[in-house]
Structure 1
């Protein structure tokens, strides 16, 4: 236990240092190498000054309806950001997998934003899931015997501020994605069928993406909501590609619905950098995902 506390303290310290460097860079010479007047407002500032709507868009929480032990809002008695309860994650494979996929979504969005030229936003996305999810989730990994990957995430989050080149940053993000894949193999068992687990995780990702799109479409300044939604869309696409066959075996019609929703969500988030206008019907997208969620509830 002491070693775990020391490790988490080191992660906090390293990420905090990276955040400080990012803040200083935004005031002087940005790590992004872009002119200071082109560097977007940091996500940390948005959280403090105007992103209550953004956090509202991180559903309160889609995962809450899947697990009896999990509360609404802040993730139930176990706490946790993004509506993810680390206590429930230790026994519920749906909550466990959602935690991993939400972390993955941040890295998918971050590396695409980085490659698209918004290096600052990309770097911030690498750091967010560490303090918002992983710090509380690491004891779950320990208890389930899964490999820990806090150091791997920290390396990726610090790289943009330490002079690393793009190839190295991409490699470090790839290391995080591989670590998440490895951790997925340690998901707890439950009475739920494999198809049900995958369908609920996929629905959660789609719901998060749709809700973020609704916020982004209603507020042109909600850049964080757009990038978060973009990440959820890409994570949903990746998750569907790996698990849609299992869902189709149990319910072919539902698998078809999921395929259509993944396409719709990807169309709503065409690029990592927000387009000038968002033209998709946010209400229709949210409603379509809600209808799919009702169908998932009927799975055997």
Structure 2
């Protein structure tokens, strides 16, 4: 019944308005266009009544607004969070690459060559992750990196260098644990860090070579460290990659086996074993195959 009344309300208001306007028109004509105060007041009242009737019978606006958070917004937020995690983990992985090649050089009795790679994590990368460490409630480890760097500069033969280096690597590992293990061990996530390491390694390797010679040993060593850690990272997820795409896994594994041959040792040779173009081609092929899993 209420629905019927609601639907008839606007029709009745329209009909009543027509009747009232006709009456007012008659009143004006009857008084020879000189309405008395009484008739004018009455007409005004009728107009007011008409307005009230129309307002009361006006259809109520329906709230059709959609929730502020849509599925598209939620997806965008998730992508933004993942990108932030990928950047964070890539920076920490680059630190690991620096420290790994430094460890190799120390083991070969080359502390002078190891020193720049011990300094790079704090000089080039730490400031990028420092706000992230605070947000993720990770203890700062700049003090640990600085202490190691100072020690290797002042006393490169000190037995404590190796233990301090291990402390620095452990600190980086703990910082990585701020990202949930399930996420870190996911091929779809880990391969993005893997690709980031290879991209940076390729750039550093190219920068190390000029006129067919390795002119920048530090860049050569940087790239070796990054590829070394990328290889370790892939080993941690290779079984999952193989399950999802055996073909992609086989291509990644075989091309990585070829790629690592560009760095025969931590100490740079006089001339590159592999031209930069070939290194870039191998990296591109590897990354194309990771897309089958991502």
- Corresponding position: 1:258 with 2:252: yes
| 2:234 aligned partner | 240
- Corresponding position: 1:215 with 2:207: yes
Contact 2:200 2:223 (8 Å CA) reproduced: yes
Shift of 1:246: 3.0
Q: Which has the larger radius of gyration?
A: 2
Matching of residues 1-300 of structure 1 within 5 Å: 92-163=84-155, 165-187=157-179, 194-218=186-210, 219-300=213-294
Structure 1 vs Structure 2 CA RMSD:
2.8
C-alpha separation between the residues in 1 aligned to 2:285 and 2:220?
23
C-alpha separation between the residues in 1 aligned to 2:183 and 2:163?
37
TM-score w.r.t. the length of structure 1 is 0.63
- CA deviations over 1:158-214 (Å, ceiling 9, x no partner): 111232635311111111111211111112799999211111111221222233223
Q: Could you say which structure has the greater relative contact order, defined with CA pairs below 8 angstroms and 6 or more residues apart? A: 1
Contact 2:251 2:289 (8 Å CA) reproduced: no
- The SS at the match of 1:178 is helix
Contact 2:207 2:216 (8 Å CA) reproduced: yes
Shift of 1:260: 2.5
C-alpha separation between the residues in 1 aligned to 2:273 and 2:258?
12
- The SS at the match of 1:92 is helix
Contact 2:204 2:219 (8 Å CA) reproduced: yes
C-alpha separation between the residues in 2 aligned to 1:237 and 1:203?
11
What is the total number of aligned residue pairs between the two structures? 215
- CA deviations over 1:89-115 (Å, ceiling 9, x no partner): 886322121111001111111222233
The runs of 5 or more residues in structure 1 that have no matched partner are 1-67, 70-87
TM-score w.r.t. the length of structure 2 is 0.64
Contact 2:111 2:156 (8 Å CA) reproduced: no
The runs of 5 or more residues in structure 2 that have no matched partner are 1-75
Task: Quickly say closer, same or farther: Cα 1:89–1:221, change in 2 above 3 A.
Answer: farther
C-alpha separation between the residues in 2 aligned to 1:251 and 1:213?
30
- The SS at the match of 2:214 is coil
- CA deviations over 1:200-236 (Å, ceiling 9, x no partner): 1112212222332233343532222111111112211
C-alpha separation between the residues in 2 aligned to 1:90 and 1:148?
22
C-alpha separation between the residues in 1 aligned to 2:258 and 2:170?
27
Task: Quickly say closer, same or farther: Cα 1:165–1:120, change in 2 above 3 A.
Answer: closer
C-alpha separation between the residues in 2 aligned to 1:247 and 1:257?
11
Task: Quickly say closer, same or farther: Cα 1:193–1:235, change in 2 above 3 A.
Answer: closer
Of stretches 278-287 and 170-179 in structure 1, the one that deviates more from structure 2 is: 278-287
- CA deviations over 1:265-285 (Å, ceiling 9, x no partner): 321111111112212132122
Contact 1:93 1:187 (8 Å CA) reproduced: yes
- CA deviations over 1:106-126 (Å, ceiling 9, x no partner): 111122223323322211211
